[in-house]
Amino acid sequence: MDLKELKKREDEIIERAKQIGVEDEYLFRTTLDRYQTQIRFCEDLKKAYEDNGTMVEKEYIKGRLNLVVNPVINAYNQTVAGANKTADTMIKILKSVDPETKKAKNDPVLGILKG
């Protein structure tokens, strides 16, 4: 996904947050910020993988080279998993507020965090 498309999607998320009145809330803003950062990390890691491939050379003692699995693959997978969890949190935040009353639905923890 290119940066223009990512920005469009972020704008849609923020618009949804505005509709229900959570766009300026701490929990939503910090979650969105973390998600944006994780997505940027994913894009960078993906590029590093595309530039270097699945296997890379690793230099061992005395300059000996061995072929190993690119460590960026593991970092990418971990970052994607983290981004997915962050997205789930953001969805829960957005679904936790009743758009009519702009108050937290029956979730005491999100109700407390919302104020």
What are the sequence ranges of the domains in the chain?
Answer: 3-114
Q: Which of 38, 30, 40, 39 is nearest to 93 (CA)?
A: 30
Strands 97-98, 103-104: pairing is antiparallel
pLDDT at residue 29, rounded to an integer: 94
Cα dihedral across residues 43, 44, 46, 51: positive or negative: positive
pLDDT at residue 4, rounded to an integer: 86
Length of the chain in terms of residues written? 115
Q: Mean pLDDT in runs of 10 for the chain (115 residues)?
A: 83 90 91 95 96 94 91 97 95 81 62 53
pLDDT at residue 74, rounded to an integer: 97
| CA angle, 91 then 93 then 95, to 5° | 65
pLDDT at residue 104, rounded to an integer: 67
CA–CA separation, 24 and 108 (whole Å): 20
